[in-house]
Structure 1
């Protein structure tokens, strides 16, 4: 049986032990994470008439809306390498995966607040269960890509083999941001309420539904937007287009990988204090 020693000493005084225990708890929490994932997935769709269709509906309606606005010349999207409807659908699906990863730790911790106060368990299990739901939804959404590729006759080439790297980059970036925001979301309900508004605006500032701007303020914003190089590169791999932002992709994806570990450690250190405050 594992012995847990509770000490008032800050974990930051022993970073080596902190990192070692973090990875040990990641491994130890796999079974619990799976149980939580199955429970939350069933609960999410148990009383839903449309069920798993809700996974498809947001990206589908977003694509249909922007395709209609572009067709009516209400929006001037510009030229795209493939038909605009397919271009927008791919961008929306990739963006939705990023947003799901960002929201997953906040949502998972929020659902299990009562359990956190009453039971002592590896809190990493909550993050892993939320991440499992993100990956599950991603594989369901992949079904949308099959008719898109067939209807719009998009060629499938060897570049599509790089797609999992792009998906991983989006997940790492979203998860890192979500982990950093989770402690704040536990303290202030405004954080979770404001995320929907913030990510909606962020999407419009990201070239998910339009090509990368070449000049002006929009081009500058896209250049400094960390999602842009990952999303654009991943979409280009899917549609066999040249990857023009490969250097930025490597920098952002690599930084996101490091940031996820640091954000996980921040989450691990802050959770006992937040749980104590909730139980007071």
Structure 2
């Protein structure tokens, strides 16, 4: 009796000086093939990073809860003492700030993830040839895992403040994924530059601090004025607000803006993926020389 043993499929890769942009169909085939091939390595990297993230910490997964809780406590006291005036919110204010902070924190993790992945893999980038997409996929899985932990806090908030939900809560993960993809889109765009220049990561910390000020995390979207315009021009605003409104059964206030930003995000994600693939060989050659 003969047993048929399937042979592993072997791809032949030819490196030339010709730009891959000259053959877009072949480029997309290679991108999809590398994305598929990266799945196993991405899984192992994700498991390793999650284990190291919580194993080498005294507080463990508590770090996923602390930022929303601390921010909500501080702003609640400031609001009650009339130090700041945030106006009426759709949720009890502590729950509003905690929920919004969890969403903002998830966006920040997505924004910083590509650069963090490249910095962690810097010692092996020039020594081992592997699909670079594995680094991004591993971080994406880690972000989703961390948000899954934050869901425990969100569920506790809804029970504590007796917040009712409806079937629209089932659509909230769609908006949250769009928020994550927006962060990845921007993060992949700046990651190659951040690997070359430390100023990028330092500047990113300054920018995100000001960015938080323009995002309705601790306040509702203003009704009028220049500040309202700045908040509405913030691409995070419609995604974060829609995710919050879908969860809390509030009528969507920015559906058009949500889909416009989502379309730009997905189109931009494809373009930055192409840019990432083209730029990384030059970046690796630069850092290894």
TM-score normalised per structure 1: 0.97
CA distance in 2, matches of 1:191, 1:59: 26
CA distance in 1, matches of 2:112, 2:45: 16
CA distance in 2, matches of 1:163, 1:188: 37
Q: RMSD in angstroms over aligned alpha carbons?
A: 1.0
Offset of 1:45 from its aligned partner?
A: 2.6
Tell me the equivalent position of 2:122: 113
CA distance in 2, matches of 1:168, 1:110: 24
Per-residue Cα deviation, 1:18-77 (whole angstroms, up to 9, x for no partner): 111111100000000011111122222332111121122122211211111111111101
* Structure 1 segment 120-269 matched on structure 2, within 5 A: 120-269=129-278
Per-residue Cα deviation, 1:239-271 (whole angstroms, up to 9, x for no partner): 111101001101111211111111111111100
* Structure 1 segment 86-101 matched on structure 2, within 5 A: 86-101=95-110
Tell me the equivalent position of 1:33: 42
Tell me the equivalent position of 1:75: 84
Per-residue Cα deviation, 1:91-126 (whole angstroms, up to 9, x for no partner): 111111111111111111110101111101000000
Offset of 1:226 from its aligned partner?
A: 0.6
Offset of 1:273 from its aligned partner?
A: 0.6
Contact 2:222 2:228 in 1 (8 A): yes
Gaps of 5+ in 2: 1-9
Q: Secondary structure at the match of 1:118?
A: coil
Contact 2:189 2:275 in 1 (8 A): yes
Contact 2:46 2:141 in 1 (8 A): yes
Tell me the equivalent position of 1:2: 11
Contact 2:34 2:131 in 1 (8 A): yes
Per-residue Cα deviation, 1:146-178 (whole angstroms, up to 9, x for no partner): 110011111011111110111111011111000
CA distance in 2, matches of 1:242, 1:231: 14
Tell me the equivalent position of 1:22: 31
CA distance in 1, matches of 2:156, 2:53: 27
CA distance in 2, matches of 1:279, 1:255: 34
**More divergent stretch after superposition (108-117 vs 1-10):** 1-10
Contact 2:113 2:187 in 1 (8 A): yes
Gaps of 5+ in 1: none
Contact 2:79 2:85 in 1 (8 A): yes
Aligned residues between the structures: 280
Offset of 1:134 from its aligned partner?
A: 0.5
CA distance in 2, matches of 1:18, 1:209: 44
Offset of 1:194 from its aligned partner?
A: 2.1
**More divergent stretch after superposition (49-58 vs 220-229):** 49-58
TM-score normalised per structure 2: 0.94
